[in-house]
Amino acid sequence: MEKKVILSGIQATGNLTLGNYLGALNNWVKMQDEYDCYYMIADLHTLTVRNDPEELRKNTLNLIALYVAAGLDPDKNTIFIQSHIPAHTQLSWILNCYTYMGELNRMTQFKDKAAKHADNINSGLFTYPVLMASDILLYNADLVPVGEDQKQHLEITRDIAERFNSIYGDTFKIPEVYIGEVGARIMGLQNPTAKMSKSAKDPMDKILLTDSSEDIRKKLKRAVTDSENCVRFDKENKPGVSNLMGIYGIIKNKTMDKIEEEFKGKGYGEFKNAVAEAIIERLEPLQNRYNELIENPDKLKAIYEKGDKKAEEKANNILKNVYRKVGLIVD
Ligand code: TYM
């Protein structure tokens, strides 16, 4: 039986967080044997805000290193760069013509980003979800593993695909969102009612995948909790402690009950130490592999060239079919 197809991606920015890792990468690694996986570096999406061009090139390569360092085997997964496959932008134009302004206006990420970048509300920021829909639909993806913040973008992808199919007949596979049971929404350490975000201004709010052990310990020590001094899972009343329990639970593969038991009668100091050490234990080998890989740009290039080739073939077939359906001349 043919394997089901997965597609996902991360924006090529330099400061990936523990949220990106636990919400996305960590789940991808678990899926690589069972599915035919396409993992792209979303470099085009990063252009919706201003970047330093040299930084963007560096971040793109670094993200490939990070994918591999996190455990994605380049022989099992198709790892590629979004901008290297012109079909993404080509399909995006077409799908723009099947997407309504009103739909895009409802996207919470657009509203958030427009508020954050009030001086640069460009139309790329507005049509961002259409490019994302193109990324997904070009590969006939069955499943799209993402964190919860991307759920709305998956819903609009499905709506666009269904609309197109209802006009032209079966063309696109309707993808399902896959949100991992754990790690779907890692919250900030200083503000545990908002997601941990790479763009957070306060460095104490986020753990970066490149943070030193010392920094991780410091950030955990300062993480916001509550005055109860009891390790108990209660998202609503104890968002800080519950978030730390969630992080600890994923890394240690423990249920919330088990964690409560483990820390019964123990204070937050001890608990925070344990969470910090668990994060360090998980990130250290990843960081070591990452540091080795970024010293070897030829190896990284070989990885994406191989991925690009496979991705392009698949994407072009689907794009051609769409061109034909809408009435463009295809030879
Ligand atoms: P991006 O780059 O913002 O985030 C990458 C992945 O990390 C997840 N994530 C989190 N998960 C849990 N807790 C958090 N605090 C947290 N922060 C981020 C995101 O949900 C995402 O899965 N538009 C996408 C990139 C993209 C894409 C695609 C994804 C472009 N095309 C096609 C899937 C399919 C984005 O900006 O993700």
d(CA 152, CA 42): 18
CA dihedral 291, 297, 302, 308 (to 10 degrees): 90
Q: Is the pLDDT of residue 14 over 90?
A: no
46-60, 180-194, 253-267: the lowest-pLDDT one: 180-194
Task: Identify whether 236 is part of a domain.
Answer: yes
- The C-alpha atoms of residue 271 and residue 162 are separated, in whole angstroms, by 48
Q: Are 227 and 305 within one domain?
A: no
To test the pocket of ligand 1, the residue of 17, 18, 20, 21 to mutate (highest count of ligand atoms within 8 Å of its CB) is: 20
**Same domain, yes or no: 170 and 266:** no
Distance from the CA of 149 to the center of ligand 1, in angstroms? 7
Q: Is residue 194 part of a domain?
A: no
Residue 15 confidence (pLDDT): 80
Asked, for residue 67, whether it belongs to a domain, the answer is: yes
What's the pLDDT tens digit per position in 124-149? 999 999 999 999 999 999 999 999 99
Same-domain pairing of 287 and 311: no
Say which range, 162-166, 176-180, 219-223, 282-286, has the weakest mean pLDDT. 176-180
- Per-residue pLDDT, 245: 97
Do 137 and 157 touch, CB atoms closer than 8 A?
A: yes
Q: What is the mean pLDDT of residues 263-284?
A: 97
Give the model's confidence band at 184: pLDDT under 50 very low, under 70 low, under 90 confident, else very high.
Answer: confident
- The order of strands in the sheet holding 77-81 is 77-81, 36-42, 5-11, 143-145, 176-178
Answer yes or no: is 188 within a domain.
Answer: no
Residues 134 and 45 in one domain: yes
> Does residue 180 register a pLDDT over 90?
no
Tell me whether residue 48 is in a domain: yes
In this structure, the answer to whether residues 67 and 170 fall within a common structural domain is: yes
Q: Same domain, yes or no, for 143 and 218?
A: no
Q: Give the CATH number for residue 264.
A: 1.10.240.10
Q: Are residues 34 and 156 in the same domain?
A: yes
Specify the number of domains making up the chain. 2
Residue 181, pLDDT above cutoff 80: no
Lowest mean pLDDT among 20-34, 40-54, 70-84, 177-191: 177-191
- For residue 17, report the distance from its CA to the centre of ligand 1, in Å: 11
Residues 230 and 142 in one domain: no
Catalytic residue among 4, 58, 151, 198: 198
Structural domain containing residue 100: 5-179+297-326
Note if 195 is an active site residue.
Answer: yes
Q: Ligand 1 pocket test: which of 79, 82, 149, 235 has the largest number of ligand atoms within 8 Å of its C-beta?
A: 149
Q: What pLDDT is recorded for position 51?
A: 92
Given pLDDT bands bounded at 50, 70 and 90, which one contains residue 93? very high
Q: Could you tell me if the CB of 150 is within 6 A of ligand 1?
A: yes
What integer is the mean pLDDT of 259-281?
97
| Number of continuous H segments (helices) and E segments (strands) in the chain | 13, 5
Q: From its phi and psi, is residue 276 left (phi > 0), alpha (psi between -120 and 50) or beta? A: alpha
Instruction: Based on the residue annotation, tell me whether 4 is a catalytic residue of this protein.
Output: no
Considering the chain, what percentage of its residues have pLDDT values greater than 90?
A: 95
Which pairs from 280-284 meet CB under 8 Å and 24+ separation? 280/213, 280/216, 280/217, 281/251, 282/251, 283/209, 283/211, 283/216, 284/213
If you average pLDDT over every residue of the chain, what do you get? 96
211 and 282 in a single domain? The answer is: yes
Do 154 and 245 fall within a single domain?
Answer: no
Mean per-residue pLDDT for 304-309?
Answer: 98
CA–CA separation, 187 and 19 (whole Å): 8
Q: Evaluate: CB of 149 within 6 angstroms of ligand 1.
A: yes
What is the 10 CA–ligand 1 centroid distance (Å)? 5
Q: Report the CATH number that the domain containing residue 122 is assigned in CATH.
A: 3.40.50.620
In a domain, 63, yes or no: yes
Model confidence band, residue 183 (pLDDT cutoffs 50, 70, 90): confident
106, pLDDT greater than 90: yes
| pLDDT at site 143 | 97
Same domain, residue pair 31 and 163: yes
Q: Compute, in angstroms, the gap from residue 197 CA to the centroid of ligand 1.
A: 10
